[in-house]
């Protein structure tokens, strides 16, 4: 059973999206915004809208396993975290908090959520190693069945002290160790990781952290999105990494690449399929020769990127109508409208859940858009 929740909001109209998508037991809520007023009032409306959207999808906040919170002003984080706690205090989903450059419609925060309708009665959570878990109402790990979601992991020690302040490479190695330890306690290994994204603070944009992360990327070659953002909380933190894992995926996953040497060198796949779910890496308009097509042209880059996503979803045996969620990172406020146009043209008939955020820069100066996606088999039928 599939359901698309459309309420006629400006965000839905602009990005050709649904406020939420329900596919079987899964529900995906877009990166919702509610501009106007102070940050506390915006946050209250956004979390109320999430609860309402989940109800329309046959779920509730108690079923939420993952949230991602994007905010535009560092000074707003405490208030947003408190609102997240009020909304999810007894639920404690895995959460990632990331400061971005801009948000749709001038909003001060955008929040996306993922829920499993069976989660309320069968979840296992752990707040260990999450320094703001109590204040912000989240867990470092959530497990439901064989699926494990890790919150944004940062380089902190057992007492929540910063590890290797301002040293991005060392922090990446620390994060890899923490991830491995957490997965082990939940019966998983790095070979079971299916999807990752690492958010790097702007000050560390040109610092490579891959060697530090190799230990968790190489075994299973999951999907990856490497996104430069304004910040990841504390100014001495260089990056945070969140991920999805399926226990036992090492034996039943299907990984696909496009043929790019960069994918091989950095130990990730363009898409990974486990069961009915296809995870798609952050994709751009870089071609097989590692050249950026349509440099500095956000509209055509977005069109080409969406074509890459549809192709890899099809190669995994699913039609593009099975795409249930996209997440777009866009450089330059002036390019938001161009990316929105491309999303409407390619996926407007599908209307997936969508998150759109502005970032300061992507992998190369000429790249203006990177898009992740998730598809669920049978959703479009």
C-alpha of 176 from chain center: 18
In a domain, 29, yes or no: yes
248 shares its domain with 284: no
pLDDT tens-digit map of 243-299? 999 999 999 999 999 999 999 999 999 999 999 999 999 999 999 999 999 999 999
Q: CA-based Rg of the chain, rounded to a whole angstrom?
A: 19
CB 362 within 8 A of CB 368: yes
User: Residue 376: pLDDT above 70?
Assistant: yes
Q: Is the pLDDT reported for residue 160 higher than 80?
A: no
In this structure, the answer to whether residues 235 and 202 fall within a common structural domain is: yes
Q: Is 31 within the bounds of a domain?
A: yes
| Residue 138 forms part of a structural domain | yes
Three-class DSSP category at 123: strand
Asked if residue 150 and residue 125 are part of one domain, the reply reads no
Q: Write the CATH number for 116.
A: 3.30.1330.40
Q: Which of 121, 144, 167 is the last residue of a domain?
A: 144
Query: Is residue 189 domain-shared with residue 305, that is, in the same domain?
Result: no
pLDDT at 159 > cutoff 80: no
Q: Is the same domain home to 97 and 230?
A: no
Provide the domain count of the chain: 3
pTM for this one? 0.97
pLDDT in tens, 106-133: 999 999 999 999 888 899 998 877 778 8
pLDDT of residue 30: 98
Helix pair angle (298-315, 336-347), 10° resolution: 40
Asked if residues 182 and 189 have their Cβ atoms less than 8 Å apart, the reply is no
Q: Is residue 112 part of a domain?
A: yes
- Kindly tell me if the per-residue pLDDT of 1 is higher than 70: no
In a domain, 226, yes or no: yes
Q: Smallest Cα–Cα separation from 295: which of 266, 331, 262?
A: 331
Q: What are the pLDDT digits (tens) for 74-111?
A: 999 999 999 999 999 899 999 999 999 999 999 999 99
* Tens digits of residue pLDDT in 285-305: 999 999 999 999 999 999 999
Give the per-residue pLDDT at 131.
78
Which pLDDT score is estimated for 158?
Answer: 66
- Reading the block at residue 7, the tokens are 């309420």
202 pLDDT more than 90: yes
Whether 229 and 322 share a structural domain = no
> Do residues 339 and 246 share a domain?
no
Domain residue limits at 15: 1-144
Query: Are residues 317 and 227 located together in one domain of the fold?
Result: no
Is 173 a domain residue? yes
102 by DSSP, 3-state: which?
strand
Please identify, among 113, 144, 175, the residue that sits at the C-terminal boundary of a domain. Answer: 144
The percent of residues above 70 in pLDDT, for the chain, comes to 99
For 254-273, give the DSSP string. Answer: EEE--S-HHHHHTT--SEEE
Identify whether 260 is part of a domain. no
Q: Say whether both 135 and 29 belong to one domain.
A: yes
Same domain, 110 and 3: yes
- Write down the pLDDT at residue 381: 62
Any domain includes 239? yes
């Amino acid at each position: 059973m599939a359901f698309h929740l459309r309420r006629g909001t400006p965000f839905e109209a602009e990005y050709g999206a649904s406020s939420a998508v329900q596919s079987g037991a899964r529900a995906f809520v877009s990166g919702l915004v509610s501009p106007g007023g102070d940050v506390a009032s915006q946050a209250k409306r956004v979390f109320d809208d999430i609860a309402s959207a989940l109800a329309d999808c046959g779920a509730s906040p108690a079923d939420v396993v993952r949230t991602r919170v994007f905010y535009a002003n560092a000074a707003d984080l405490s208030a947003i975290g408190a609102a997240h706690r009020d909304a999810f205090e007894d639920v404690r989903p895995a959460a990632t908090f990331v400061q971005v450059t801009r948000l749709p419609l001038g909003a001060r925060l955008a929040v996306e959520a993922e829920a499993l309708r069976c989660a309320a009665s069968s979840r296992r959570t752990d707040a260990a190693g999450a320094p703001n878990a109590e204040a912000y109402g989240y867990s470092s790990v959530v497990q439901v069945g064989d699926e494990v979601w890790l919150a944004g992991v940062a380089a902190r020690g057992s007492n929540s002290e910063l590890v290797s302040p301002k040293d991005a490479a060392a922090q990446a190695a620390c994060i890899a160790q923490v991830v491995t330890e957490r997965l082990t306690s939940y019966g998983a290994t790095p070979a079971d990781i299916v999807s990752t994204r690492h958010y790097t603070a702007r000050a560390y944009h040109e610092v490579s952290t891959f060697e530090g992360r190799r230990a968790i990327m190489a075994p299973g070659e999951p999907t990856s999105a490497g996104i430069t953002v304004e910040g990841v909380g504390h100014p001495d933190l260089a990056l945070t990494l969140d991920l999805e894992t399926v226990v036992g995926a090492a034996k039943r996953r299907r990984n696909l690449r496009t043929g790019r040497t960069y994918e091989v060198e950095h130990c990730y796949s363009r898409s990974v399929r486990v069961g009915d779910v296809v995870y798609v890496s952050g994709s751009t308009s870089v071609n097989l020769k590692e050249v950026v097509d349509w440099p500095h042209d956000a509209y055509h880059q977005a069109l080409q990127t969406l074509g890459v996503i549809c192709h890899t979803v099809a190669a995994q045996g699913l039609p593009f109508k099975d795409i249930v969620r996209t997440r777009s990172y866009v450089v330059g406020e002036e390019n938001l409208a161009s990316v929105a146009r491309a999303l409407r043209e390619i996926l407007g008939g599908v209307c997936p859940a969508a998150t759109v955020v502005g970032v300061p820069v992507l992998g190369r100066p000429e790249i203006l858009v990177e898009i992740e996606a998730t598809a669920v088999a049978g959703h479009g039928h």
